[in-house]
Amino acid sequence: MTASRAPAEPTVREFEATVESADGREVVLDETYFYPESGGQPADRGTLDGHLVDGVVERNGEVVHTLAPDAEHDLAPGDAVTGLIDDAFRTYCARAHTASHVLYGAARRITEDLGYAGFDISETKVRVDLTTAEPLDDDDLIELERLANRAVWDSLPVSWESHSADAARDVDGIAFNTKTEEGAMSDGAVRVVTVGDADDPWDVAACGGTHVSDTAEIGPVTVLDRSNPGEGVTRVEFAVGPTAIDELGAVHAAALDAATTLDARVGDLPDAVARLRDETDRLEADLRAAREELLDARLREFPTVAVDGARWAIGTVDDADPNELREPASAVVGDGADSATGDGDDPADADAPAVLAAVGTGDAPFVVVAARPDAGVDAGDLVGAVTDEFGGGGGGGPTYAQGGGLDADPEAVAAWLRER
């Protein structure tokens, strides 16, 4: 069995080894410092005797190095080779992996019944899946980021050692997930990584990855997003390194731009946004009221016809949503405001139409019907008759109903209603 020495000695970037086997592009060494893809951490990049390593996996107890497809080599068992590990990528992965432990330690301090459901390192961000009794909200994300960066600033030591499986499970507060941390277990032993002092650790977890020796090496941690990929699971995505720095810059720039637009200091943005929201709500309410008045006026201009001894107002209306027509349509049939003899509030006014049918124009023709209770017409039945004739569907009650998806010219629908 050839285990990777990367987790135990993560600072090694160059090493000498002997080829044990070479099968096509797959090479096995007697000793290697390449980290094989495992538990969410990607494989190391680098070269073997100048040949690009395309992938590293552990298979049947051996670390298999797969050379790039265009690699033409003559490596054979017994050959001495030099391995070079990509320093930038290894450093990034070690920082990102330790950062995930730091973030988990932060989560320990803000939520109860915390569990670990896995993580993944990509080139631009890291994700950690947490099981929590309650989903994390925006305030939790802010606190996670604050606590994680405080742990980085405090320059906490990071250490690792192996225990028997039973002893590892007995470590106080250990995060141990056998499904996600298979790389932590080898020959019955479990590798335990501790962030902080052993007597009062920030975090302790079973882990087989590569890590920095001090949290100060991580640099800034920037939380990017959260989601809920499964029942009881909160996925937190964050960045370290250049992506984190770029994100911090982008957020700062956005805050300054917003502050300039709102003529406020960055620290006063919440109050300024609240004032803007209140103003927007007021303007939207005014706009809705104005639209209702406009629609009311349009509906009152509909021509009327006599149907079964009752006055019906029928016409088409532009630039309207069926939901916007409910109140004005009901008002037209309900108050008879155009009556010369009524008081304008009596639903039985002789000059008020008993039924109003409005057909909406545009790409999605619709129909709405409002009827007085004494009209002798069921609005829902009338809409059903329209959709039976012109397609679509809808429904409603005796005094108001609507239908959509009509497959006809709106003027043709209005004409059909007048001829009933």
**pLDDT (tens digit per residue) in 312-333:** 999 999 988 888 899 999 999 9
Mean pLDDT value across residues 9-16: 97
* HEC-encoded secondary structure of 109-120: CCCCCCEEEEEE
Mean pLDDT value across residues 98-123: 93
Contact 160, 191 (CB under 8 A): yes
Q: Could you tell me which of 131, 125, 135 has the C-alpha nearest to residue 100?
A: 125
- Look at residue 140 in the predicted model and tell me its pLDDT: 94
Mean of all residue pLDDT scores within the chain:
89
**pLDDT (tens digit per residue) in 135-171:** 899 999 999 999 999 999 999 999 999 888 778 777 8
**pLDDT (tens digit per residue) in 245-302:** 999 999 999 999 999 999 999 999 999 999 999 999 999 999 988 988 899 899 999 9
- Look at residue 341 in the predicted model and tell me its pLDDT: 38
376: its two tokens: 């002798």
| Residues 14-85, CATH architecture | Beta Barrel (2.40)
**pLDDT (tens digit per residue) in 230-248:** 888 999 999 999 999 999 9
Q: Which residues, at least 6 apart from 218, have a Cβ–Cβ distance to it below 8 Å? A: 95, 98, 99, 102, 152, 212, 240
**Domain boundaries along the sequence of the chain:** 14-85, 91-261, 296-418
Q: Could you tell me which of 55, 44, 58, 54 has the C-alpha nearest to residue 15?
A: 44
Spatial distance between the Cα atoms of 194 and 92, rounded to a whole number of angstroms: 19
Contact 326, 312 (CB under 8 A): no
Q: What is the DSSP letter of 348?
A: T
CB burial of 265-293 (b: ≥16 within 10 Å; e: otherwise) equals eeeeeeebeeeeeeeeeeeeeeeeeeebe
Contact 223, 107 (CB under 8 A): no
CATH of domain 91-261: 3.30.980.10
**How far is residue 340 from each of residues 136, 171, 329, 374, measured CA to CA in Å?**
63, 89, 20, 20
Least confident of 30-34, 56-60, 337-341, 385-389: 337-341
Residue 180 pLDDT > 80, yes or no?
no
Q: What percent of the chain has pLDDT over 90?
A: 72
- Look at residue 247 in the predicted model and tell me its pLDDT: 93
Mean pLDDT value across residues 70-89: 94
Question: Residue 338 CA to chain centroid, in angstroms?
Answer: 53
Helical spans, DSSP H, in 305-408: 326-335, 379-390
**What are the E-state strand segments in 176-329?**
185-186, 189-197, 200-206, 221-230, 233-240, 304-307, 310-317
Question: In 3-state terms, what secondary structure has residue 83?
Answer: strand
Spatial distance between the Cα atoms of 140 and 127, rounded to a whole number of angstroms: 16
Question: Which CATH number fits the domain 296-418, given the four candidates 3.30.43.10, 3.10.310.40, 3.90.105.10, 3.30.420.40?
Answer: 3.10.310.40
Least confident of 120-129, 341-350, 362-371: 341-350
392: its two tokens: 């679509």
* HEC-encoded secondary structure of 174-195: CECCCCCCHHHEECCEEEEEEE
- Look at residue 187 in the predicted model and tell me its pLDDT: 59
Question: In 3-state terms, what secondary structure has residue 407?
Answer: coil
Q: Which residues face 370 on adjacent strands?
A: 356, 400
Spatial distance between the Cα atoms of 123 and 255, rounded to a whole number of angstroms: 26
Tell me if 91-261 shares its fold with 296-418: no
Phi, psi of 352 (to 5 degrees): -80, 135
327: its two tokens: 């109140």
| pTM (2 d.p.) | 0.71
**pLDDT (tens digit per residue) in 352-380:** 899 999 999 988 899 999 999 988 899 99
